[in-house]
Structure 1
Amino acid sequence: MNEQILFYAQIVFWLMIFLLVHCYLLFPMTLPFVSEIFKRRKSPEQGDVELPTVSILISAYNEEAVIERKIQNILELDYPKDKLEVLIGDDGSADKTAEIVARYADKGITLVKAPKNAGKAAMLNRLNKIAKNDILLFCDANTMFFPNVVRKLVIPFQDKKIGCACGHLILSDKSGSTLGRGESSYWDLESEIKKFEGILDMLIGGNGALYAIRRELYTELPVKKSVMDDFFVTTKVLEKGYYCTFVTSAIGTEQTSKESSGEFRRKVRIGRANFNFLFSYLPLLNPLHPLLAYLFFSHKILRWFSPHILILLFVANACLLTSGLFYQIFFGVMTLSLLVAGFKIVPSGYYFLSMNYAMLKGFFMAFKPEKSGGWARETRSDE
């Protein structure tokens, strides 16, 4: 093979290895030290401070299986009722979601009913316009809160530069599926990363199950293409010069999808939504804010492009098979690892392979025309 091609193949090979090792090993391992060196502030005091007013916003679609349990969960929150507003948007559900919510009007639960299914982003935009309180708390219908979650989540807002606070979602799996177990384990690692990013007050993306922002910092969500509303809203807070933090003691719980196919479809939608608005997130790579750029590149960009990196690594390795025993052994190990993962011999390997395939599929789907609005709800493992 042409020596010039071999030369470039070697560059690609070692660069791809470095990016993968950095993304999945070096970044999470060194983040605790980075957060200790660059931590921004001490935790605010929890003394006798004036509690802010909070609006809880829930966009729901066909949630009759969980919505009453969610409402009961909200009614049990340890937060002054006169400082709490609860808005539940029914986005054209075909089941009894709206009927169930309407029963609790006398308990301070406000139903906002859309005439037709327009999608979660459109409903959140609508709820934001109705909300009256200082802090907007976003959550999902199937996320159950610990009673003190609102009190814990609003503490960071004592700092005027904090624009967003994300709670700690504990994901559990009752399905027993390989992808369900993998997602639960993955989320444990993700929560650790969020914890250290929270120490820096530079959390790269909240979680739609449990996060809060200052109402004036809400950025209207695009509705013509699918969007990860939590990631879009929280990164716009960062772009506006405010900080995003993570509150480990503000706890919510949630179940994974009931079937592996459901978890896979969810990951494809997430991938597509991320790539739909990739260019709008690129300001986070501003070199004038090197720490934020480093976190966004390491935590998100490399994750989103991991399947592309793996493909380039495989191709470069194939080109180098005649360049020595090392490349031949590495190629053999890569091929064997793919087979082991593909046949579910190692569940964690299968999860990693499936999620990267889902991300790649989402990438290509982002180039296709998309019908705006609508939901694609997955049955959860506790239903």
Structure 2
Amino acid sequence: MLLAIEVIFWVSIFVILYSYFFYPFILAILARFFSTPVKCSDNYLPSIGVLVPAYNEESVIEKKIINILSIDYPADKLSVWVGSDCSTDRTEEIVSAYDDQRVHLWRAPERGGKTGVLNGLAPVIDAEIVLFTDANTMHRPDSLRAIVRNFADPKVGGVAGHIEHALAEEKENAETLYRSFESKQKYMEGKLHSTISAFGGFYALRKELFSAIPKNAYSNDDVLIPMNTVRKGYRVIYEPEAISEEDFTEKISSEFSRRVRIGAGNFQAFFWLRDFLNPFLGWPWFCFFSHKVTRWFSPHFFILAAFSSTLLFFATDMTLYRVIYSTAAVFMLSGIAYRIFPLRICRHIFYFLTMNCALFLGFIRFISGIQSAAWSRTERG
């Protein structure tokens, strides 16, 4: 019995360490020696249709349209397509008021969330490249040229851009650090073959490769659409020089709810992407399993590690288990203490713990059943 508990403990610890430490290190080595260059061209300027899903975005939608139309890109090859998920505010009125043939409004027949907007609007966009973005994501002037130059390579089907949070330096938070960590992994995965996911507010796809995703897909289009592209034999790469910015909510409750929603969508994606668990798929399998599967299930392994270490602490007198248990207790208490003592190190631990807690609650929401992909607008800073 004791041996079984020890096995559970060490397997759990290994999976956690592999997901957050070993895999990024191994990935960096592999990307250096087995990278496949992308044949870029700054002269490749295909037509782009910018798809903006919107639900009650009256406070930012005009700023968003102005931002897109001011980007350094040929005007006759750029269009804006706002997909309203039956907004009840002035969003549709603001878009309709634009006297510009490049600006289009599409209204969903019924509320279906972001998924419904993407499935309904993407097929009717008249452009070679569809750029998926959020209403609160603002693009830098050179961002579109940077992202589409990669499509000069016929093997590239999708390109993920980089998103930075529009926060003052003194308000930099753990989410920014995590984004940087994720960005580096996406870049290295793209060098091997394909990144497993994009940042949902900024990624592009060849229109001909778009396939409808399940209608109840819940906050996971940025995983399903890139992986569908890989299924079709194309690469999805990450372009760090295509930069956009988005406002970040400072309300912990709103951000936590968003994380729970993303967590539920992640577990949906896991079961829809089970075919990528086949090792014969090569790099896509390796990256999907190492980056996503181990990360999505890390809260489960944290729980197993916590229970098994507690049992080992009381069932044995081995110094090793007592040190591990005490260290883990200090780690947990440091995160919890952030609400009282807002030290920088405690802030990062607090974020890490809440992120995994939200992911586990997302799992609970998933197994409870997701009936609709409709979403409510997140209040932003």
Higher alpha-carbon deviation: 365-374 or 127-136: 365-374
Query: 2 CA distance for matches of 1:201 and 1:99?
Result: 43
State TM-score, norm by structure 1: 0.93
1:114 CA displacement: 2.7
Aligned to 1:372: 372
1:258 CA displacement: 3.2
Query: Paired residue for 1:155, among 144, 149, 159?
Result: 149
Query: 1 CA distance for matches of 2:242 and 2:169?
Result: 26
Q: SS where residue 377 of structure 1 aligns?
A: coil
Distance 1:338 1:8, change over 3 A: same
Query: 1 CA distance for matches of 2:281 and 2:163?
Result: 28
Residue identity matched to 2:8: V
Instruction: Kindly report the root-mean-square deviation, in angstroms, between the aligned alpha carbons of the 2 structures.
Output: 1.8
Query: Paired residue for 1:60, among 54, 70, 81?
Result: 54
Higher alpha-carbon deviation: 363-372 or 113-122: 113-122
Q: SS where residue 117 of structure 1 aligns?
A: coil
Residue identity matched to 2:274: L
Distance 1:371 1:244, change over 3 A: same
Higher alpha-carbon deviation: 133-142 or 284-293: 284-293
State TM-score, norm by structure 2: 0.93
Aligned to 1:32: 28
Query: 2 CA distance for matches of 1:99 and 1:20?
Result: 49
Aligned to 2:185: 193
| 2:7 corresponds to 1:15 | no
| 2:83 corresponds to 1:103 | no
Q: For structure 2, list consecutive stretches of 5 or more residues without a partner in the other structure.
A: none
* Percent of aligned pairs sharing the same letter: 36
1:120 CA displacement: 0.9
| 2:330 corresponds to 1:336 | yes
Residue identity matched to 2:228: K
1:227 CA displacement: 4.3
CA contact (8 A) 2:193 2:284 kept: no
Distance 1:133 1:107, change over 3 A: closer
Query: 2 CA distance for matches of 1:114 and 1:215?
Result: 20
Query: 2 CA distance for matches of 1:369 and 1:201?
Result: 34
CA contact (8 A) 2:39 2:153 kept: no
Q: Deviations over 1:255-291 (max 9, x none)?
A: 2123011110000000001112321112222211232
Q: SS where residue 277 of structure 1 aligns?
A: helix
Aligned to 2:41: 45
Q: SS where residue 264 of structure 1 aligns?
A: helix
| 2:81 corresponds to 1:87 | yes
Residue identity matched to 2:69: L
1:361 CA displacement: 0.3
CA contact (8 A) 1:170 1:253 kept: yes
Q: How many residues align?
A: 373
Query: 2 CA distance for matches of 1:265 and 1:351?
Result: 14
Residue identity matched to 1:15: V
The 5 Å alignment of 1:159-178 reads 159-173=153-167
| 2:354 corresponds to 1:360 | no
Aligned to 2:203: 211
CA contact (8 A) 1:284 1:293 kept: yes
Query: 2 CA distance for matches of 1:24 and 1:310?
Result: 13
CA contact (8 A) 2:114 2:373 kept: yes
Query: 2 CA distance for matches of 1:238 and 1:264?
Result: 31
CA contact (8 A) 1:125 1:220 kept: yes
Query: 2 CA distance for matches of 1:337 and 1:54?
Result: 48
Q: For structure 1, list consecutive stretches of 5 or more residues without a partner in the other structure.
A: none
CA contact (8 A) 2:194 2:236 kept: yes
Q: Deviations over 1:187-210 (max 9, x none)?
A: 121112122222223101112211
Residue identity matched to 2:20: Y
1:115 CA displacement: 4.7
Query: 2 CA distance for matches of 1:294 and 1:115?
Result: 40
Query: 2 CA distance for matches of 1:252 and 1:334?
Result: 37
CA contact (8 A) 2:151 2:157 kept: yes
Query: 2 CA distance for matches of 1:58 and 1:146?
Result: 16
CA contact (8 A) 1:175 1:259 kept: no
Q: SS where residue 362 of structure 2 aligns?
A: helix
